[in-house]
């Protein structure tokens, strides 16, 4: 397995602020993990004792609502760190993580990285910054969820996936989600999600091929309200 010192992924997250020595120590104790599409990485209520660094693939972070429905809180791709909160708090994790396609990750035990968090101010500040940014994004999501229609939220998630995770060679969104996943991101019933996507299709805003979605008219998506 590749060593952290020579792994380019770390440039996308807070691990980039570790010194070469710290990295070598982390590298020595990390374990590689492979997850298949649909596999659960961890579940709400579990005690995480470390962080996962995503090397490849995509996963969703979800939270179970009291009515039994899952709500997708965040999508995480290459470079993302899962379980940051576990470094800071003794509490159990409040989210579940499920692989959306085949994933490759590294697991770094908390015990090993905690020392760096107290000794390396640059690293700490970086984690802090990332968390502050997450918080900002979370606030924005809340406002969207509260103030915008389901149709608008659906348009936004399509643009979000397009802008952040890109498309494949044929122009289809490179992250492939089920209609149920879309429903659980925008917070609506699966049927409603299906209906809205069908409508977008009729209007020529998107086209589909199986589960894959291609944005045909990005401009129109922006104007939906």
Partner DNA sequence: TTTAAAATATGATATTTGTCATGTAATTAG
Partner DNA sequence: CTAATTACATGACAAATATCATATTTTAAA
145 interface partner picked from a second copy, DNA, none, CB below 5 to 8 A per type: a second copy
Q: Is position 189 an interface residue for a second copy (rule: CB under 8 A)?
A: no
Q: Is position 191 an interface residue for DNA (rule: CB under 7 A)?
A: yes
| Residue found under tokens 């107290």 | 118
Q: Is position 223 an interface residue for a second copy (rule: CB under 8 A)?
A: no
Q: Is position 211 an interface residue for DNA (rule: CB under 7 A)?
A: yes
Q: How far is the CB of 142 from a second copy (least distance, A)?
A: 5
Q: Is position 191 an interface residue for a second copy (rule: CB under 8 A)?
A: no
Supply the Cα-derived Rg of the chain in whole angstroms. Answer: 19
Binding string, residues 135-154; x marks residues near DNA by CB under 7 A: --------------xxx---
Q: Is position 16 an interface residue for DNA (rule: CB under 7 A)?
A: no
Give the residue with the Cβ less far from DNA, 130 or 180.
180
In whole angstroms, what separates CA 86 from the centre of its chain?
A: 17
Residue 137: other Cβ atoms inside 10 A? 11
Give the residue with the Cβ less far from a second copy, 195 or 201.
195
Cα–Cα distance, 11 to 161 (Å, whole number)? 21
- Give the up-direction half-sphere exposure of residue 105: CA atoms within 13 A in the CB hemisphere: 31
Write the CB contacts of 95 (distance below 8 Å, at least 6 apart in sequence).
Answer: 44, 61, 62, 63, 73
């Amino acid at each position: 397995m590749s060593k952290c010192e020579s792994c380019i992924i770390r440039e996308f997250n807070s691990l980039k602020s570790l010194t070469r020595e710290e990295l070598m120590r982390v590298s020595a104790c990390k374990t590689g993990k492979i997850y298949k599409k649909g596999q659960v990485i961890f579940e709400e209520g579990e005690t995480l004792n470390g962080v996962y660094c995503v090397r490849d693939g995509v996963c969703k972070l979800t939270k179970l609502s009291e009515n039994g429905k899952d709500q997708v809180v965040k999508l995480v791709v290459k470079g993302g760190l899962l379980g940051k909160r576990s470094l800071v708090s003794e509490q159990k994790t409040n989210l579940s993580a499920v692989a959306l396609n085949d994933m490759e990750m590294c697991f770094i035990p908390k015990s090993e990285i905690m020392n760096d968090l107290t000794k390396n101010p640059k690293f700490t500040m970086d984690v802090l910054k990332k968390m502050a940014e997450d918080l900002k994004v979370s606030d924005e999501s809340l406002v969207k969820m509260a103030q915008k229609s389901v149709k608008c939220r659906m348009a936004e998630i399509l643009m979000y996936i397009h802008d952040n995770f890109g498309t494949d060679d044929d122009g289809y969104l490179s992250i492939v989600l089920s209609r149920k996943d879309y429903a659980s991101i925008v917070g609506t019933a699966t049927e409603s999600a299906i209906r809205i996507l069908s409508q977008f299709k009729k209007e020529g805003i998107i086209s589909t091929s199986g589960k894959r979605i291609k944005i045909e008219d990005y401009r129109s998506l922006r104007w939906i309200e």
